[in-house]
Amino acid sequence: MKTYTVASLLKETKLQEIQIKGWVRTFRAKRFIALNDGSTLNNIQCVVDFENTDEAILKRITTGAAVAITGELVESQGKGQTVEVTVTKIEILGDSDPETYPIQPKKHSFEFLRENAHLRTRTNTFSAVMRLRSALSFAIHKYFNNNGFYYMHTPIITGSDAEGAGEMFRVSTLDQKNPPLTEDGAIDHTKNFFGKDTNLTVSGQLEAETYAMSLGKVYTFGPTFRAENSNTSRHLSEFWMIEPEVAFMDLAGNMDLAEDFMKSVISYVLENNADDLQFLDKRLLDEEKTKPQAERSELSLIEKLKFVTENNFKRVSYTEAIDILRNSKPNKKKKFNYIIEEWGADLQSEHERFLVEKHFKCPVILFDYPANIKAFYMRLNEDGKTVRAMDILFPGIGEIVGGSQREERLDVLKEKMAVLDIPEEELWWYLDLRKYGTAVHSGFGLGFERLVMFATGMSNIRDVIPYPRTPQNAEF
């Protein structure tokens, strides 16, 4: 007897003596089990011979129960499936309780399912989202591996707060009630676990730069942490970031790489995850129908993904973008929460989405931002006021990628750090890269969950990571 997954069984037409294990989605008319094992969105129908099955067993076939089924794969007699399993033996591996099992065969709100995140992958929507998450992750590694990049594991605990990408979470083993103090009453971090103050990393970039300057092409793909108190549908306190870093590559090369990479990973799921995407496409369509006409998206999910893979990203300088925004209707009519008045203004999500969704109607790469709204390590342009930064903006998401060409000139970098009060002692190793064999280099960071949101059409970032960490929430 051979054990099959539902996915492998659905590819067959006729088989004898097979076994399959999974969870009961529904049990209808004492006869029809819809069985799911997570290997595919689809259930397999298992037909029970109820006249020859113990009543006590039949009672235990309830939604959520784990069962092992032995039987035969045959052509289906009914509608809705081509094959089904004629059950010869059913074993209840784990009972469910139909009274209290949270995942009933009906529509649940995403809020309710978030509270039951340990069971939500037993629904079609969440199993599809998480299979896609896994596929995207594989596609990312595949892309870099095929293109000569090395995968680098950057540290999660960091001793420097230099990136300045956001507030950090402190890592400490000191007695919180009674910490050791220095003579002037400050907490004495020399007594702390690492002999210094440490935090969870906000980005692996600075360490990735060190490896790019020896291995040439590297990338990181790991968890990053930001303690900002931003409770939005696009921010997590713990999220996964992909950060390639490449020696001898300038900003134009960085844009080319990012565009090719994004297209490649989206193409991968279009080719390999058709079932899940079709399901999510339909789900999004139903959700869109509940919105007023004016707010509905013109494209379906799959159309949106194809649109990204088939069209060039529009490359626009920050200065051009400011002109467009300043003259835009929502700016003139004061519909934006933040009115754009002058060159130098930081762009908010509402502006990014206006550019992408209303003005250009395609993914946009904005570049050459004002130096003072971007990080210290970005390469200063000859104009002395802009830096070689680039952000990629996606429809429905806003910023999905942030990157830059890095400042490779020691004197310029030191000057910048001095202005921003970043101590050289903390980043001596980063400065060393500019002392010994410095060269042009660039990279970017992709927020993995924002990519998963885009690829699945989910509108809340909490629904594309297994166990979201957000302010006031670290359940599970």
Q: What is the smallest separation between the CB atom of 385 and ligand 4AD, expressed in angstroms?
A: 20
Pick 229 or 311: Cβ nearer ligand 4AD? 229
Q: Which contacts of 434-437 are long-range, i.e. CB under 8 A and separated by 24 or more positions?
A: 434/407, 434/408, 434/409, 434/410, 435/410, 437/213
User: Using CB distances below 5 to 8 A depending on partner kind, what does residue 445 bind out of ligand 4AD, Mg ion, none?
Assistant: ligand 4AD
Pick 402 or 457: Cβ nearer Mg ion? 402
Picking from 218, 111, 136, the residue whose alpha carbon sits closest to that of residue 462 is 111
Q: Give the contacts of 46 (CB within 8 A, at least 6 positions apart).
A: 20, 32, 33, 35, 69, 71, 84, 85, 87, 90
Q: What is the smallest separation between the CB atom of 234 and ligand 4AD, expressed in angstroms?
A: 6
Phi-psi domain of 442 (left: phi exceeds 0; alpha: psi -120 through 50; beta: other) = beta
User: Using CB distances below 5 to 8 A depending on partner kind, what does residue 239 bind out of ligand 4AD, Mg ion, none?
Assistant: ligand 4AD
Picking from 172, 176, 164, 235, the residue whose alpha carbon sits closest to that of residue 203 is 164
User: Using CB distances below 5 to 8 A depending on partner kind, what does residue 447 bind out of Mg ion, ligand 4AD, none?
Assistant: ligand 4AD
In the bound complex, which residue of the shown chain has the CB atom lying closest to Mg ion?
402
Q: What is the smallest separation between the CB atom of 213 and ligand 4AD, expressed in angstroms?
A: 14
User: Using CB distances below 5 to 8 A depending on partner kind, what does residue 64 bind out of Mg ion, ligand 4AD, none?
Assistant: none
Task: Name the one residue in this structure whose structure tokens are 């210290």.
Answer: 376
State the Cα torsion 380-381-382-383 to the nearest 10°: -100
Pick 235 or 283: Cβ nearer ligand 4AD? 235
Pick 43 or 404: Cβ nearer ligand 4AD? 404
Q: Give the contacts of 141 (CB within 8 A, at least 6 positions apart).
A: 151, 221
Q: What is the smallest separation between the CB atom of 437 and ligand 4AD, expressed in angstroms?
A: 21
Task: Name the one residue in this structure whose structure tokens are 């730069």.
Answer: 209
What gap in Å lies between CA 344 and CA 319, rounded to an integer? 9
Q: What are the backbone angles phi and psi of residue 343, rounded to the nearest 5°?
A: -60, 135
Q: What is the smallest separation between the CB atom of 382 and Mg ion, expressed in angstroms?
A: 23
User: Using CB distances below 5 to 8 A depending on partner kind, what does residue 217 bind out of Mg ion, ligand 4AD, none?
Assistant: none
Pick 234 or 304: Cβ nearer ligand 4AD? 234
Pick 331 or 404: Cβ nearer ligand 4AD? 404
What gap in Å lies between CA 291 and CA 230, rounded to an integer? 25
Q: Which pair of tokens denotes residue 13?
A: 């037409």
Helix axes 251-272, 124-146, angle to 10 degrees: 130
Q: What is the smallest separation between the CB atom of 399 and ligand 4AD, expressed in angstroms?
A: 5
Q: What is the smallest separation between the CB atom of 379 and ligand 4AD, expressed in angstroms?
A: 12
Pick 18 or 389: Cβ nearer ligand 4AD? 389
Q: What are the backbone angles phi and psi of residue 361, rounded to the nearest 5°?
A: 55, 40
What is residue 293's three-state secondary structure? helix
What gap in Å lies between CA 363 and CA 265, rounded to an integer? 15
Q: Is 72 exposed, middle or buried (0-12, 13-18, 19+ CB in 10 A)?
A: middle
Q: What is the smallest separation between the CB atom of 186 and Mg ion, expressed in angstroms?
A: 32
User: Using CB distances below 5 to 8 A depending on partner kind, what does residue 363 bind out of ligand 4AD, Mg ion, none?
Assistant: none
Pick 278 or 317: Cβ nearer ligand 4AD? 317
Q: What is the smallest separation between the CB atom of 237 and ligand 4AD, expressed in angstroms?
A: 7
User: Using CB distances below 5 to 8 A depending on partner kind, what does residue 403 bind out of ligand 4AD, Mg ion, none?
Assistant: ligand 4AD
State the Cα angle at 209 between 204 and 210, rounded to 5°.
Answer: 105
Task: Please report whether residue 402 would count as binding Mg ion according to CB under 5 A.
Answer: yes
Q: Which pair of tokens denotes residue 347?
A: 């762009």
What is residue 314's three-state secondary structure? strand
Q: Give the contacts of 305 (CB within 8 A, at least 6 positions apart).
A: 266, 269, 270, 277, 454, 455
By CB under 5 A, what part of segment 237-276 binds Mg ion?
none
User: Using CB distances below 5 to 8 A depending on partner kind, what does residue 395 bind out of Mg ion, ligand 4AD, none?
Assistant: none
User: Using CB distances below 5 to 8 A depending on partner kind, what does residue 379 bind out of ligand 4AD, Mg ion, none?
Assistant: none
Q: What is the smallest separation between the CB atom of 403 and Mg ion, expressed in angstroms?
A: 9
Pick 64 or 445: Cβ nearer ligand 4AD? 445
Task: Please report whether residue 398 would count as binding Mg ion according to CB under 5 A.
Answer: no
* Chain contacts with ligand 4AD (rule: CB under 6 A): 163, 165, 203, 205, 226, 235-236, 239, 241, 243, 399-404, 443-445, 447, 449-450
User: Using CB distances below 5 to 8 A depending on partner kind, what does residue 257 bind out of ligand 4AD, Mg ion, none?
Assistant: none
Pick 87 or 433: Cβ nearer ligand 4AD? 433
User: Using CB distances below 5 to 8 A depending on partner kind, what does residue 444 bind out of Mg ion, ligand 4AD, none?
Assistant: ligand 4AD
What gap in Å lies between CA 312 and CA 321, rounded to an integer? 18
Q: What is the smallest separation between the CB atom of 443 and ligand 4AD, expressed in angstroms?
A: 5
Pick 278 or 349: Cβ nearer Mg ion? 349
What is residue 419's three-state secondary structure? helix
- Give the binding site for Mg ion (CB under 5 A): 402
